[in-house]
Amino acid sequence: MKRRYFIALLVAGSAAGGVARLEAATTREVEVIAEKFDYTPDMIKAKVGQPLTFVLTSVDRIHGFKMPDFGVRTDIVPGVDTRVTITPTKVGKFAYFCDVFCGDGHEEMAGTLVVEA
Amino acid sequence: MKQTDRRDFLKLAGMAGVTFTAGLFPGREAAAQAGGDFHFVQFSDTHWGYKGAANPDAEHTLEKAIVTVNGLAKQPDFIVFTGDLTHTTDDPKERRNRMKRVKEIIGELKVKDVRFMPGEHDASLDKGEAYKEIFGDTHYTFDHKGVHFIALDNVSDPGAKLGDEQLAWLAADLKKHKPDDRIVVLTHRPLFDLQPSWDWATADGAKAIDLLMPYQNVVVFYGHIHQENNHMTGHIAHHAAKSLVFPQATPGPDAPPRRPPPPPYDASQKNLGTRDISMAKAVTFVELPVTKA
């Protein structure tokens, strides 16, 4: 698994005097491989407040990747690395699943994101 | 629904059962509905070709349901199939064989006015190509005794979309109707976000609901989720039907994030069936068992 880090500068201007605030956020990357009718891995752990980038690849056909709880979806096209970044804000278990019908077994093509404190 | 109406309807259906009544068509006065009383039967999710533990009897369940419907004391005016006629297969030839075979079996219905819609198992792998060859258009309208029926296709796009073209077609069709016209929408997937994490939704279904919202008397009948489900988006009622292959897990706020597998097979098949829908002052329906007791 590749890990890359970056520092995000968040500038929060105040109405009073434009006071800048510097925050550090570490983005974790996790590779997810899509293949009829599974994601590998199908269980990923994350932490509240830590950005997580899914690096999505497909080895056979176009699949989908959807996480309704985070308002994200994308196609996963073979031969292309597709990146989707989320930042969990609460503890819980959340599904990611294929939303491009891909055959007998499509309904089972899903995984779980486990967000911990 | 008045008690007399209920008794009449059960007599009409030819069997006792649990009748569901929603306050449907609330904006329509009885006087405006003269001549509109009729009933039709909804089949859904037959999944012809399925082989698995969730229904070891899958090869015969549809035939049994057809015998039951053929035995109704008063035959319906017409029958609708709201998708997933066949279980999906990667083999285009086998896909067509399954469609031809299920059409043959459906030919045993006494009622010959049968309206089909595709499900994702029928149409999502080839964008509806085989389905159109064998069953015809994937979206269309028809009128029956003063009720306007709209069949919507939210499965030929593998991403579960109606698409802009179909939405424009829907908008143009609706413009021909008065706000108090009686409208029934037939489709496969829920138009609203029933359980998004289980993919029980239509990607752009909200746009269709927005188009339907100005019309006061709209009811949606659909399939896909293999169980009864009744839901309101504003004044629009949405009713999901049982399947004829196997039930699915129950959705809800406490449901797990990933959809569980179907429950173990119940040989009584009480969680399968069809639905007899009566269009009178109110819309009512009764669930029909696979096999009449």
The answer to whether B159 contacts A100, with C-beta atoms less than 8 Å apart, is yes
B159 touches chain A (CB under 8 A): yes
The answer to whether B199 contacts A103, with C-beta atoms less than 8 Å apart, is no
Please give the pLDDT value at position B65. 98
Report ipTM (2 d.p.): 0.84
Please give the pLDDT value at position B87. 98
Residue B75 is classified by DSSP as: -
pLDDT of B16 > 50? The answer is no
Measured CA to CA, the distance from residue B282 to residue B285 in angstroms comes to 10
Whether B89 is in a domain gets the answer yes
B91 touches chain A (CB under 8 A): no
pLDDT of A54 > 80? The answer is yes
Beta strands in chain B (DSSP E): 19-21, 38-43, 78-82, 114-117, 140-144, 147-151, 182-186, 217-222, 229-233, 236-240, 274-279, 283-288
Distance from CA of A28 to the nearest CA of B (A): 23
Whether B123 is in a domain gets the answer yes
Whether B229 is in a domain gets the answer yes
Q: How many domains does chain B have?
A: 1
CATH numbers and ranges of domains, chain A: 28-116 (2.60.40.420)
For B25-64, the pLDDT digits (tens) are: 544 444 334 446 999 999 999 999 999 999 999 999 999 9
Q: Which domain holds residue B281?
A: 3-288
Measured CA to CA, the distance from residue B135 to residue B132 in angstroms comes to 5
For B209-221, the pLDDT digits (tens) are: 999 999 999 999 9
Pairing of strands A72-76, A63-67: antiparallel
Whether B154 is in a domain gets the answer yes
* Residue B21's pLDDT band (cuts 50, 70, 90): low
B94 touches chain A (CB under 8 A): no
Please give the pLDDT value at position A3. 41
Please give the pLDDT value at position B293. 73
Please give the pLDDT value at position B231. 96
Please give the pLDDT value at position B93. 98
Whether B195 is in a domain gets the answer yes
B64: domain CATH number is 3.60.21.10
> A64 contacts in B (CB within 8 Å)?
159
For A55-110, the pLDDT digits (tens) are: 999 999 999 999 999 999 999 999 999 999 999 999 999 999 999 999 999 999 99
Distance from CA of A61 to the nearest CA of B (A): 12
For B155-204, the pLDDT digits (tens) are: 999 999 999 999 999 999 999 999 999 999 999 999 999 999 999 999 99
- The dihedral built from the CA positions of residue B87, B42, B248 and B263, taken in this order, carries a sign that is negative
Whether B241 is in a domain gets the answer yes
Whether B293 is in a domain gets the answer no
Please give the pLDDT value at position B25. 55
